[in-house]
Structure 1
Amino acid sequence: MEMNMAAPHQTVDLFPDRATYRTGESVLMTVQASPSGLPAPRLTIKRLGRKVLELELAGAPNEPAPRPSTESATVDLGTFAPGGYEVLLTGGTGGTGGGKVLAATAFDVSAGAPESVRYAFMSDFSPCEPAERSRRAVRAGEALARLHATHVQFYDWMYRHHELVPPTAIFEDALGRPVDADAVRERVGICLARGMAPVAYGAVYGAEKEYSEANPLQVLERSDGRKADFIGIISICDISPDSPWSARIVAEFARACRVFGFRGIHMDQYGAPKLALRADGSLLDLADCFAPLVDRTKAELAGEGGDLFVVFNCVNAWPADFLAGSAQDATYIEVWDPWWRYRHLAELARKARLLAPGRPVVLAAYLKCFLDAAESDERRESSARLSLAVICANGATQLLLGEADGVLAEGYYVNHGHRRPSFEPVLRSYMDFIVKYRELLFGAEVRDESLTYAGGVNDEVRIAGVPWSAEYECGAVGVSVARLGSDSIVVNLVNLTGIEDERWTTGKEDPEPVGALFLELIAWADVEEVSCASPDYGIGSLEKVRWDYAPHPQGRCVRIAVPALRWWSLVLVRFKARS
């Protein structure tokens, strides 16, 4: 997150060299300052608010890190255990870590598959001069790495839906858009170098007419006997396990990874048809076919080296229950009407985590306001904050950002919206937040208790001083409650007060600030510590807050004075272990 230093005309930035790390990989941190060096710089690394490392950047004999007296310096922090970490750069005297906080960032480490999939997109593979092509690719890759994207979907990179690998370096895709295969390869390499997995888009049953007309028996039929298609261009093929099409498309997925170096496949479907007729007249329930196709793809990609990422698009959560036991690496839901309210985003995230515990959840929730000329930048940005907050507070991440400044506003990613540069520090603050508090939001031990602890007859969690709702109703503070094992509770608060339009796709006015809010949480053990953090204030660090005990219908509770709420705040209550 970029911050202004005390000295005039001097800015400082801080960011890791990779979007995410595996255990055993050294964390390299870049410190940028201009135009002069930093006063007594120090790096402090925290995990869930507790210091794990402090490093003076003064070039002392036993310290490998150079002092960043030039415009840019790289600091080797060494290796870390799995988890999310906060990094603070301080300088001068006074304040946290012995000086003023000049910049902050985050990084996370995973032993295997990540606890959260932070999904982004790329869609610009247009032909241009090599120097310009590289400039665009590097700019997009650096932007997404600083937003900590773990996976990047390469959208409509391919020649045809039925023939992914192009016959020539420069080609036109099925919609007539010019594409440069070398641009695809270059961006794949940039993603890999920055710790992001490049994932190839591929529709599981789509085929253009040159294939479907030559193989009519592989095309499904509608209830009126006509051939099934999508937008009149793409035929819908038979994905039964015994269909020749299934073998073909899985082989195409593997070939794409082999030829271009992709590290996974994004398996798309269009949400319809759900039922169709095969060439022999039998009725096919497509929900029965998706999981076998996912498993077949996962097994086929195992032969391409390493554990490649496979995810399937459950449009409006259909058929997420059928995919729960499959080999896919994340639960991915593309959200459309009628799931248009904020409470629907919370519901989908919670449902997906219950269906497949321990599996990361991604909601593809497109903000159409970013392509609405009538909307202001301020309303677009408030909408983005709210959707990110609601989704992440309920244990999922949002596919929203891509390219160097893109924001998804519709299902055809090429037609994405753009964000203004002044919004970048806010987005980096939000992305830093979900990285450094990964275990509190997305960890395998996080167990949602929102609708069993809060609201209605539930009184384990109560809020005083403001209307609130565990179902994320507009005009109130949305509340999510999660247990972490037996000794911690996490409460997320998302401010929907003053929000009248429930549609999460549209621009939003800023919510009304909430200044006086008291959270009451039943205390089954003595409290060790209560802390609060928000991506909307300062650097988003966990800070201790005021609390005391109070009577409760079930015994006693801890009564917490929550600092002012703007968009999103997180409260962590740690209890002492019972002897």
Structure 2
Amino acid sequence: MKGKGLFFLLVVILFSCFGGAVVKLNFDKAFYIPGSKMILSIDGIDDCVKYELKITRGTKIIHSEVGTTTGTIEINAPFEIGGYGIDLALSGDNISRGFSVLNSWLDSPRYGFLTDFFPERYDIEKTMDYLTQFHINGLQYYDWMYDYGKLVYEEGDEYKDAWQRVRKISNTTLKELINEGHKRNIASMAYVALYACNREFGEKHPEWLLYKKEAESWVPLDFYKKILITNTLEDSDWTKFLIDECKKTIEFGFDGIHLDQYGYPKDLTSYMMKDGKYIPYRTSQGFLEFINLLKRETDRPVFFNYVNNWPNKIQSEAKADTVYIEPWESCNTYEDLYKMITDAKKRSGDKPVILAAYLEGIKKHSIFLADSIIAISGGRRLEIGEIMRILSGPYFPGADAVDMKFLDSLKNYYDFQVRYEDFLNGEFNELSDVNFEENYSTNPQKGKIWVSLKNSKQGMMINFVNLVSARSSLWRSKQRMPEDFSNLFITFPKTFFPDNARFFFISPDGHVAPQEIKAETIGNKIKLPLLYLKYWSAILVIPEK
């Protein structure tokens, strides 16, 4: 580790010495380039105050300082990419957060969404500051385009959304959002349906379309009788047309393209037209060729939506930068979530996996449990977007409103995942041969505490998820508040851990900073205390060097 490294964070806490004022420390970037300048702004203080600061990588302190501030601190980010912790003592209160150092947002994408692009939007800076505090470094601009196929509106500034022709959209607003995002290291991805064509436009180009046979007639495939479905093979004229439209989108200012589909038609269930003949069409091949051509032609970030994890067989060949999955009936249980993510990472060569796993905002306990299992499995969940909204369904403008208390708790989960990202990116250790106590399970199921172990260069991370009170193993179910546990114990074979290893307790549920715990050796076993468990807690195992 070379040079000094510092941080950024957001925290909300009451300080009695300030008469109950809310004190906030805010990030100025969603992530930091190695060695870049970081500006910490502190809101809610009136006078010069003393602080003590520690920066950690895992459990190792790499920087500490004391000082005074009236509201702003400028420092430099660490030079080594990865996840970092910050622990701040200010007027007797201790605050723990996490931050991220990356060369590019694609090294560790944390994806959010936007839906409101109306003229004279007044809260653009506030929205980007809000997203920054969750470390959101990439945004899907949902239904921003002028039309299906014809993406950028070139006749003026204002138009209405392509699907309903109701929601007002302004090119000026789009560009302001993109620019404000760039100031905070947030990339903007343009939503594009890769095989959806305006009906009137498509009927002028019948060779672009896909068909089904009804009685003795060939009928174009459609979506809700509004848009026609097209052939996206590399030699299709539709593909050439839409690639050019995507290039215009990049010229407009977007950083990349988020490709969507609708989950059908499956392979060899539709037909394309070629030389006046109708030929069986392999949809998955069309998707693969379009994705790879778009990546080659633009050399920009490309995401593709594997609706219901289909067609997952192309994940090994597709040049998209992530594996973005919208799970439906193929993924119902907590164990399904785990398997979907681990399979996608293996199949794609360990690309980042993002799930658009929809949960209503009222299901707060379900959200914390699903987020925990997704993170431990090696994935991310798309949920944060417009201020105080949680993504709850496939039509993004319908995202649910939630309260700030819930969001503050959820923010701890984002800090926790950033801070311990190096551990979460590790490989799973096989535990099926370990004889745990009855209340533990090595796969996520209701009525049990799911225990898993991951190995990384930083050390080991033993994760615990509390499904004891779960009504169901179905992740979409409304779960009850879990029973809090304290002073639990778990026993492992001694051979699992390095000699003289040190053990630290952590949790996004109020214990983000590591607390060293004492292990007890009993013969050839090691007994570890699990100090507290609400939704998700963990124990770090650090080799003594």
User: Common fold, TM-score beyond 0.5?
Assistant: yes
Asked whether the 8 Å contact 1:19–1:145 carries over to 2, the reply is yes
Deviations 1:367-400 (A, max 9, x none): 1x33xxxxxx5xx221221111110011101001
Map of 2:514 onto structure 1: 542
Alignment of 1:301-316 (within 5 A): 301-302=298-299, 308-316=300-308
Alignment of 1:303-382 (within 5 A): 308-367=300-359, 369-370=360-361, 377=362, 380-382=363-365
Map of 2:427 onto structure 1: 447
Measured after TM superposition, the shift of residue 119 of structure 1 is: 0.5
Deviations 1:118-155 (A, max 9, x none): 1100001123xx3xx1x321222111111000211111
Distance 1:557 1:249, change over 3 A: farther
- SS of equivalent to 2:532: coil
Whether 2:400 is the aligned partner of 1:417: answer yes
Cα distance between partner residues in 2 of 1:404 and 1:470: 37
Cα distance between partner residues in 1 of 2:58 and 2:541: 12
The farther-off stretch of 263-272 and 280-289 is: 280-289
Measured after TM superposition, the shift of residue 488 of structure 1 is: 3.0
* Number of residues of Structure 1 aligned to a counterpart in Structure 2: 521
Cα distance between partner residues in 1 of 2:34 and 2:543: 29
Deviations 1:526-545 (A, max 9, x none): 1421112101024x112111
Map of 1:277 onto structure 2: 271
Q: What amino acid maps onto 1:517 in structure 2?
A: L
Q: Which residue, out of 236, 249, 256, partners 1:256?
A: 249
Deviations 1:199-220 (A, max 9, x none): 1111110111121111122110
Asked whether the 8 Å contact 2:34–2:77 carries over to 1, the reply is no
Cα distance between partner residues in 1 of 2:271 and 2:442: 43
Structure 1 vs Structure 2: percent identity of aligned residues? 25
Whether 2:206 is the aligned partner of 1:219: answer no
Deviations 1:214-257 (A, max 9, x none): 11221101354421111221111001111111111122112101
Whether 2:130 is the aligned partner of 1:138: answer no
Q: Which residue, out of 12, 16, 35, partners 1:24?
A: 35
Asked whether the 8 Å contact 2:84–2:98 carries over to 1, the reply is yes
Cα distance between partner residues in 2 of 1:222 and 1:469: 48
Q: What amino acid maps onto 1:119 in structure 2?
A: Y
Measured after TM superposition, the shift of residue 37 of structure 1 is: 4.1
Cα distance between partner residues in 1 of 2:467 and 2:185: 35
Cα distance between partner residues in 2 of 1:113 and 1:140: 19
Whether 2:79 is the aligned partner of 1:80: answer yes
Map of 1:188 onto structure 2: 178
Whether 2:295 is the aligned partner of 1:298: answer yes
Q: What amino acid maps onto 1:240 in structure 2?
A: L
Asked whether the 8 Å contact 1:463–1:518 carries over to 2, the reply is no
Map of 1:208 onto structure 2: 198
- SS of equivalent to 1:400: coil
- SS of equivalent to 2:513: coil
Q: What amino acid maps onto 1:489 in structure 2?
A: M
Cα distance between partner residues in 2 of 1:317 and 1:549: 45
Distance 1:365 1:454, change over 3 A: same
Map of 1:96 onto structure 2: none
Map of 1:41 onto structure 2: 51
Cα distance between partner residues in 2 of 1:310 and 1:78: 28
Measured after TM superposition, the shift of residue 114 of structure 1 is: 4.2
Deviations 1:523-578 (A, max 9, x none): 4331421112101024x112111212234xxxx3332111111000122212357x
- SS of equivalent to 1:13: strand
Asked whether the 8 Å contact 2:39–2:72 carries over to 1, the reply is no
Cα distance between partner residues in 2 of 1:506 and 1:488: 34
Cα distance between partner residues in 1 of 2:421 and 2:333: 25
Asked whether the 8 Å contact 1:26–1:79 carries over to 2, the reply is no
Map of 1:64 onto structure 2: none
Asked whether the 8 Å contact 1:291–1:322 carries over to 2, the reply is yes
Cα distance between partner residues in 1 of 2:510 and 2:414: 14
Distance 1:248 1:520, change over 3 A: farther
Asked whether the 8 Å contact 1:117–1:361 carries over to 2, the reply is no
Q: What amino acid maps onto 1:447 in structure 2?
A: E
Asked whether the 8 Å contact 1:115–1:438 carries over to 2, the reply is no
Q: What amino acid maps onto 1:448 in structure 2?
A: F
Map of 2:531 onto structure 1: 563
Deviations 1:330-350 (A, max 9, x none): 111111124122221111111
Q: What amino acid maps onto 1:283 in structure 2?
A: P
Measured after TM superposition, the shift of residue 32 of structure 1 is: 2.2
Distance 1:166 1:51, change over 3 A: same
TM normalised by structure 2 equals: 0.91
Deviations 1:408-460 (A, max 9, x none): 11111111111112222112111111111111113xxx1123xxx224xx22x
- SS of equivalent to 1:20: coil
Measured after TM superposition, the shift of residue 108 of structure 1 is: 0.7
Distance 1:28 1:557, change over 3 A: farther
Deviations 1:89-110 (A, max 9, x none): 2124xxxxxx531x33321111
Cα distance between partner residues in 2 of 1:300 and 1:399: 27
- SS of equivalent to 1:222: strand
Map of 1:394 onto structure 2: 377
Cα distance between partner residues in 2 of 1:477 and 1:204: 42
Cα distance between partner residues in 1 of 2:520 and 2:485: 21
Measured after TM superposition, the shift of residue 289 of structure 1 is: 2.3
- SS of equivalent to 1:326: coil
Alignment of 1:371-520 (within 5 A): 377=362, 380-442=363-425, 446-449=426-429, 453-455=430-432, 458-459=433-434, 462-464=435-437, 467-485=439-457, 488-520=459-491
Cα distance between partner residues in 2 of 1:232 and 1:136: 36
Q: What amino acid maps onto 1:502 in structure 2?
A: S
Q: What amino acid maps onto 1:562 in structure 2?
A: L
Cα distance between partner residues in 2 of 1:24 and 1:249: 39
Asked whether the 8 Å contact 1:84–1:107 carries over to 2, the reply is yes
Cα distance between partner residues in 2 of 1:213 and 1:13: 56
- SS of equivalent to 1:478: strand
Q: What amino acid maps onto 1:154 in structure 2?
A: Y
Distance 1:352 1:398, change over 3 A: same
Q: What amino acid maps onto 2:56 in structure 1?
A: K
Asked whether the 8 Å contact 1:536–1:567 carries over to 2, the reply is yes
- SS of equivalent to 2:505: strand
Cα distance between partner residues in 1 of 2:45 and 2:472: 44
Name the Cα RMSD after superposition: 1.9
Cα distance between partner residues in 1 of 2:374 and 2:419: 17
- SS of equivalent to 2:501: strand
- SS of equivalent to 1:481: strand
- SS of equivalent to 1:541: strand
TM normalised by structure 1 equals: 0.86
Measured after TM superposition, the shift of residue 470 of structure 1 is: 2.6
Asked whether the 8 Å contact 1:115–1:359 carries over to 2, the reply is no
- SS of equivalent to 2:331: coil
Distance 1:185 1:112, change over 3 A: closer
Distance 1:81 1:139, change over 3 A: same
- SS of equivalent to 2:172: helix
Asked whether the 8 Å contact 1:364–1:399 carries over to 2, the reply is yes
Gaps of 5+ in 1: 59-66, 93-98, 303-307, 371-376
